[in-house]
Amino acid sequence: MSVMASPQLLIGQVAHRRLRPTVNAFVYPVFFVRLPLADLAAATGPLFAIDRFQVLSLQQKDYGPRDGRPLGPWIQGLLRAHGLPDDGETILQTFPRVWGYAFNPVSFWFCHNSGGALIAVLAEVNNTFGGYHHYLLHNPDGAPLREGQTLETEKRFHVSPFCTLAGRYRFRFHLKPPVSLVRIDYDDGEGTLLLTSISGRIHPWTTRGLLVALLRMPVLTAGVMLRIHWQALRLWWKRVPFYGKTPPQPVREPKQ
């Protein structure tokens, strides 16, 4: 993924498939944004704002340490704490707030070195119980990530009450334009259980483009939350085992 000079709008879909004990699958249209943390102000305009209300917006208090401070120094500290370069651009991929409402099942921070190579991805996961957790994905030796490389991590955070806390995630990032694709597979003790993908075609950052996306999906983030609960109801109806909520496991993060 080459470092971009300006914000980007992506319009695509989220696809999800559960394989056991019964198949449950869905595909929903979405749009999301990619914003360079070094110049968030470049995204501001008639329809988009940073740290204030607008039809579409991004609030820095929704991410990272959740304290409203600039996100750049926080992610730089996290990279340094793991022995990774902190001198390049970081690009945040996320659903924006829509009409002031925010919910992001997962956002991605694409972290580059000074030469523009992608050296780490921070997957920031939120659940519907108000919790969040960070998975920092990188090569042990700090080498740049390859296009489509499989990155694995142990599951440490409760997302769905229809899954246990045990298991591992497999992430794959296909980020070359014009279409971006992120795959997230979840394996439990019996093998692969969930297949998820987030894809989108990259569009220039224009007021017209944002308006078109908004008119197509005027309640994007509220719709994400409603669909999560609808799918949970479907799983309950299909008698998929319910495990309840489990506390997240501790993970090392730097103090700012």
- Quote the pLDDT of residue 231: 87
Residue 180, pLDDT score: 96
Beta bridge pairs of residue 185: 170, 195
Is position 243 within any domain? no
In this prediction, residue 26 carries a pLDDT of 94
Between CA 149 and CA 138 the distance in angstroms is 10
As a whole number of angstroms, the distance between CA 224 and CA 227 comes to 5
10 Å Cβ neighbour count for 235?
18
pLDDT of residue 87 exceeding 60: yes
In a domain, 78, yes or no: yes
CB of 170 closer than 8 Å to CB of 151? yes
> Is residue 37 assigned to a domain?
yes
Phi, psi of 148, rounded to the nearest 5 degrees? 80, 5
Interval 36-59 mean pLDDT: 96
Q: Is residue 249 part of a domain?
A: no
Q: What is the pLDDT of residue 252?
A: 45
Residue 19 lies in a domain: yes
Asked, for residue 227, whether it belongs to a domain, the answer is: yes
Has residue 167 got a pLDDT over 80? yes
Alpha-carbon span 164 to 51, nearest angstrom? 36
pTM for the predicted model, two decimal places: 0.92
Residue 2 lies in a domain: no
The pLDDT of residue 161 is 85
Q: Considering only CA atoms, which of 160, 161, 149, 159 is closest in space to residue 119?
A: 149
C-alpha span between 224 and 229 (Å, rounded) = 9
Q: Which pLDDT score is estimated for 249? A: 45
The count of structural domains within the chain is 1
- Report yes or no: 34 and 118 within 8 Å, Cβ to Cβ: no
Residue percentage of the chain with pLDDT more than 70 = 93
The average pLDDT across 84-100 equals 97
On average, the pLDDT of the chain sits at 92
In this structure, the number of other CB atoms found within 10 A of the CB of residue 183 comes to: 17
pLDDT tier for residue 3 given thresholds of 50, 70 and 90:
low
> DSSP letters of 82-150?
TT---SS-EEEEEPPEETTB---SEEEEEEE-TTS-EEEEEEEEE-TTS-EEEEEE--TT-PPPPTT-E
Does the pLDDT value for residue 247 go beyond 70? no
pLDDT at residue 255 is higher than 80:
no
The answer to whether residue 47 is domain-embedded is yes
Provide the sign of the torsion angle of the four alpha carbons 235, 135, 197, 185, taken in this order: negative
Residue span of the structural domain in which 226 resides: 8-237
Around Cβ 165, how many Cβ atoms within 10 Å? 17
Confidence of residue 189 (pLDDT cuts 50, 70, 90): confident
Q: How many CB atoms within 10 Å of residue 239?
A: 9
pLDDT(248) > 70: no
